Amino acid sequence: MAGILSLKESVLIYLDRSGGLQKLADDCKPLNDPQQTEAVYRFRVVVNPSDLIEVDPELGDYVLHDPLRAAALFQSVCFLAIKTLSLTDKIHTASQVNISLNFTHLPPFPEYTLDLSSFHQVYGPLRPVSMEGAVIALTRVTKYTQGARFLCTDDDCPGSTGFHHIRVHAPGATESATVRNDFSCRICRSQLKEDVKFRVLGDKQLVELIHVEALNALRGHQQSSSRYQSVTLFLRDELCHSMTIGRLYRVVGIPALVHQWPSITWSVEANSVQPWELYCEKHNIINPRCLVGINTVKQCFSIRHLSCSPALPTGCPKASPRFLQLPHCMTSAPWRFPAILAHCFGSDLTPPGLHNTLKLCLLLSLVQTRMDENDAFHNLDLLVVTADTLVLDRLMTYSLSLACRGVRHQPSGEMFSWLSRDEHGAGTANIHAGSALLASGGICLLGDLACYKKDKLDCLQCVLESRSVSVFIPGKKYGEEADQQLSFPVQCSFWALADSSQRSGKTDSTTLGAAEIGPVQAQLAESFGLVIQCGDRVGEEGVLAQTLHTLQQAVQPGRLTHPSYWDFSNEDFQELVARSRGLKVELSPEAVKLIHGYYMASRRARTQSQEVKISLASIKLLMSLAEAHCKLCLRTKVLEEDAVIAVLLCENSVTLKHGGSALIIPPDAVFPCDLGNVEGLQRRDAVLDELHQDILRFVYTFAPGADEYITEE
């Protein structure tokens, strides 16, 4: 008894120091409403295990290893505080106080961590553990019995009145464990009957969590022998709606065995939920996926035939030793470093210098696809028009391996979501994530759009335009009174291919400069942010170079058929993409003025000549491209040169969809010449300077007043 009193005293001291008593008093104020009368009142107590152990190590041990017993101690102390301080007169017995202990964290030891990739087992008493994973399915919010009052059927028994028999939900308990009709009175052993008007209902949501490494199997690479099993989480009350399908979370929960005759299921009662990215930032933890290549790369870039002194790109944060060896000549021209990266990117699949525009756009999409600190998602969708879908599909699959999360969608699978019946007694529909939702925060590779049926493409177009997907739940099929429709945000970038060799069958004459995009509808192509044409202009030399390269890699993997001055490994690109994606950039006034001027000029020029309306989404695309190019340069300030690249890419994309305009630029404006040596970089800089002046003249002509805020060079 002395030990119990000592523990209760420690509970009181902790509540006083942590502000729990004041919170208890604030939570009791709404209970004095005469219209609110319940059998059980729930109080949430935030527990910091570190602070609790400092107050009383034995109490901390109780909380970490026997939370149900610890909750009983907090219940007794809170009831005593309510009666002593006269906080409310609606609580008559301690059983009416339902205490929920919510952990801020757990000790960073293996004993308190549950690895979702290992086999799940439960030993001894229920205790909290922490786990990390991705949400792959969830249900809608339903009701459960939080607490109920029972009365004895014998009128002469004291249990026929008052609050002597109170039942509350416990972790792992089913609905029948809280409410049923075969309970007996503890006083006279007579049958108990529920007082239905005092039943307290709460919210409940089921979530399927899986180890994050399981998502790597969806990238389209060779499958491993590992198998992963998902875990069912029960979210209750304030935790409902705290998890979004497709996102990563760190969860503290209590494992439990749920008995549903004749089977026993293993699940976890969630105690606290925190987004994994936010947890990493708060505790200075780097995502292991972003560390790939950083610790393994220790040599400098192999840049031969260049004798310039090494320097770091302007505005670059702390970089690895390899980037410290970048030559000074690349920092003097903001266009050169991304050009060299595109030139060497995917050298195992295509010869250096082939499909440079596509390679640059893939890198831009990789570094721009992210979730910022305000939980706003930034995406960059790509539609590649080509007659050689096989090679470019391999290139895009390789690029998918550099994304923080990538999913290769199969045409036979579900792109967005699908429904099944819940197997845990919730009596509702279980919403499973499709490829796009599983790729949240990353890239979803669709492949050749010719493999999809029209209804799938129509759904894709709606999602690209609204960036959300609607899920229809038929009420009659899933035990609901009415049909429901839920909406989920789609936070990923889409990559797709269009086979230009498959003619669309249009009889009207195409506009000068417009490209044949095969069976893809014009509205769907318009929904993609950036349209790129590859392969149709490479000529016989490019086809021969690709053929020789493929044969060489098949016979001697890793050996380059076309030697280059620059040699970047896969780890180099992994490190670069991970570092560039994390940069926070800001637009310079010069870049904003050029983007705004081009948008106004292009809108007016195309409206007058082609009756094509340039939407406001074009400004977002231009800024996104400029920011991505700046990040790829490892800078934090978007320069006017970045805006020039964005304008050229965007103008080429609009030309492919609607034809040419008064701004006449070559089809491969971003890469007008070969980059096999330093002289090629210098020629490219000179051509881009001329195109920059052409853009300015175009802006001055079709956007009157632009000369007031854009300085003519």
Tokens of 17: 């120091």
Q: What's the gap between Cα 322 and its chain centre?
A: 29
pLDDT in tens, 13-24: 999 999 999 999
Determine the pLDDT at residue 399. 92
Q: Which long-range contacts (CB under 8 A, 24 or more apart) does 167-171 make?
A: 168/40, 168/95, 168/98, 169/144, 169/145, 169/202, 169/236, 170/68, 171/68, 171/126, 171/254, 171/256, 171/269
* Mean pLDDT, the chain, integer: 80
Distances (CA, A) of 537 to 184, 497, 541, 704: 84, 17, 10, 36
The answer on pLDDT for 596 being more than 80 is: yes
Longest dimension (CA), the chain: 103
What percent of the chain lies above the pLDDT cut of 70?
A: 80
Whether the predicted pLDDT of 316 surpasses 60:
no
Q: Is pLDDT of 488 > 50?
A: yes
pLDDT digits (tens, 9 = 90+) for 268-290: 899 999 888 654 444 444 444 33
pLDDT exceeds cutoff 50 at 308: no
- Residues in contact with 7: Cβ distance below 8 Å, sequence separation at least 6, in sequence order: 56, 58, 59, 62, 73
pLDDT of residue 507 exceeding 50, the answer is no
Least confident of 414-428, 503-517, 519-533, 567-581: 503-517
Give dist(CA 618, CA 598) in Å, integer.
10
pLDDT tens, position by position, 111-138: 888 888 776 555 555 788 898 899 999 9
What are the pLDDT digits (tens) for 416-457? 998 888 777 666 888 999 999 999 989 999 999 988 899 999
Range 163-193 burial, b when 16+ CB lie within 10 A, else e: bbbbbbbebbbbeeebbeeebebeeeebebe
C-alpha closest to that of 474 among 486, 463, 462: 486
**pLDDT exceeds cutoff 90 at 4:** no
Question: Cα(267)–Cα(671) distance, rounded to whole angstroms?
Answer: 55
Check residue 594 and give its pLDDT.
92
Whose CA is closest to 103, among 70, 64, 54? 64
User: Structure tokens of 424?
Assistant: 């845990």
Angle at 78 between CA 75 and CA 80, to 5 degrees: 110
How does pLDDT run across 180-210, given as a tens digit for each residue? 888 888 888 888 898 888 888 989 999 999 9
Instruction: Name the band, by pLDDT with cuts 50, 70 and 90, for residue 347.
Output: confident
pLDDT mean over 88-97: 87
E strands present in 565-691? 566-567, 586-587, 637-638
Average pLDDT over residues 45-72: 90
C-alpha 281/C-alpha 290 separation (Å) is 13
- 284 burial (CB, 10 Å; 0-12 / 13-18 / 19+) is exposed
Task: Classify the phi-psi angles of 535: left when phi > 0, otherwise alpha if psi is within -120 to 50, otherwise beta.
Answer: left
User: Mean pLDDT lowest for which of 369-373, 552-556, 656-660, 673-677?
Assistant: 552-556
pLDDT at 305 over 50: no
- Would you say residue 398 has pLDDT above 60? yes
The residues with which 256 forms a beta bridge, in sequence order, are 267
Comparing 688 with 554, the larger pLDDT belongs to 688
Encoded amino acid at 73, one letter: L
pLDDT of residue 610: 62
Strands 377-378, 370-371: pairing is: antiparallel
Q: Round to whole Å and give the CA distance between 695 and 684.
A: 16
pTM over 0.85: no
Q: What is the pLDDT of residues 617-640, one digit of tens each?
A: 888 999 999 999 999 988 889 999
pLDDT at 675 > cutoff 90: no
Average pLDDT over residues 644-653: 93
**216 Cβ neighbours under 8 A, 6+ residues apart:** none
Interhelix angle for 678-702 vs 589-609, to 10°?
60
